[in-house]
Homo-oligomer: A and B are copies of this chain.
Amino acid sequence: MQQLDALTSLKRTFRRGEYLYRCGENFHSLFAIRTGFFKTQVLHEDGREQVTGFQMPGEIIGLDAISSDVHTCDAVALEDSEICEIPFDRLETLSRELPSLQRHLHKIMSREIVRDQGIMMLLGSMRAEERLAAFLLNLSQRFSARGYSPTSFYLRMTRQEIGSYLGLKLETVSRTFSHFQENGLLNVRVREVEIMDMLRLRSFVSHT
């Protein structure tokens, strides 16, 4: 336990807009988010961006870099945030001694793979309304798991970032929010979302 504490003792803060790491930088640590909100994105050479995830407190960021010892995406703070750095070689060493830590690390990496599968499903075979509904339900569930309201929350990201994540243009995201509001599924005032009819929103995504 002391060893684990020592492992996660390096803390750092980031202002909104600051980069935790950039694509191409050398990898030596994973990062656990303590407070705040991040996005990860891949930039295409022609300027197109793809947001690959939004990360909240308790989540681990940087797993993609293990494969080649180089970061393969950018991680950007969407609000003032605090992270703790986990030097990866020390994590590996320690996880050889602590089977439960080893198991935990494997589960975290596997969970990331499962999450990515879900996004493939979303991008590959869902329509705009289904994508946005799935996105909001996912946020809701994660806020809920952290003790916040599952129905009422503040979006840290722009319409354009949501769109990039969901494979939609920002106008489509905006319109879909408006449709949802017209249909009484939720109230939106820009970044403030209140889910009014969770069940009907769910029926959008797993529509039998």
List the interface of chain A (C-beta within 8 A of B). 42, 44-46, 48-50, 52, 63-68, 72-73, 92, 95-97, 99, 102-103, 105-114, 116-117, 119-121, 123-125, 164-167, 206-208
CB neighbours of A106 from chain B (8 A):
66, 92, 105, 109
Query: Cβ of A96: which chain B residues have Cβ within 8 Å of it?
Result: 95-97, 99, 102
Q: Once the chains bind, are B123 and A72 in contact (CB under 8 Å)? A: no
Q: Majority SS of interface residues in chain A?
A: helix
Q: Are B208 and A114 in contact (CB under 8 A)?
A: no
CB of A108, distance to nearest CB on chain B (Å): 8
**In the complex, A66 Cα to B102 Cα: how many Å?**
12
Cross-chain contact B120 with A117 (CB below 8 angstroms):
no
Are A113 and B64 in contact (CB-based, < 8 A)? yes
Give the residue name and chain of the B residue nearest to A40 (CB): B117
Q: How far is the CA of A42 from the CA of B108 in the complex (A)?
A: 20
A113/B67 in contact, CB under 8 A: yes
Can you list 23 contacts pairing A with B, beta carbon distance less than 8 Å?
A42-B120, A44-B206, A46-B207, A48-B125, A52-B117, A65-B110, A66-B106, A66-B107, A67-B108, A67-B110, A67-B113, A68-B114, A92-B102, A92-B106, A95-B96, A96-B99, A109-B113, A116-B117, A120-B123, A123-B167, A124-B164, A124-B166, A124-B167
